[in-house]
Amino acid sequence: MIVKTPILSQRVRQVPKSFSWIDHRLVSDCYINKCSHAAAALYLFLVCVGDRRGLSYYSDKSIAEKLKMDAGLLEKARSELIRSDLLAWRSPIYQVLSMESATVKKRSSQGVMRLSDIFKQAREGSP
């Protein structure tokens, strides 16, 4: 087993008291695999500036300037995040969405399950 120790122990990061965080399911549920560099940059920016509900009121002009994107690339990145179910947008409001795990998505796409199927899955230990 690899023992992990900080390289710079005086610089170990702490979780900030602000509202921003990045859900590990971005990687573990492969959401990041669907994102271009521009979409990933936009997502990171919106996570950092959003409030506790994931809402941000930054204008497209301000976002484009901060991320050094032109309007067309910003629009494309935003569309990717919306298609990937990571973002909702209604000008001028952006909302970073909660992530559903792959298991939840699979179950919800299956529709209504019979009680016997639920018990069968529980016995077999499969999601």
pLDDT in tens, 64-116: 999 999 999 999 999 999 999 999 999 999 999 998 754 455 555 555 656 66
- Contact indicator for 36, 80 with CB cutoff of 8 Å: yes
CA distance 114 to 87: 32
Instruction: Look at residues 121, 95, 120, 96 and name the one whose alpha carbon lies nearest to residue 106.
Output: 121
**What is the pTM (predicted TM-score) of this model?**
0.71
In this structure, what is the dihedral angle of CA atoms 104, 107, 112, 118, given to the nearest 10 degrees?
Answer: -100
Instruction: Write down all domains in the chain, each with its CATH number in brackets.
Output: 23-127 (1.10.10.10)
Cis geometry, peptide bond prior to residue 92 (ω within 30 degrees of 0): yes
Cα torsion through 106, 110, 114, 119, rounded to 10: -20
Query: Is residue 2 over pLDDT 80?
Result: yes
User: Residue 112 has what pLDDT?
Assistant: 62
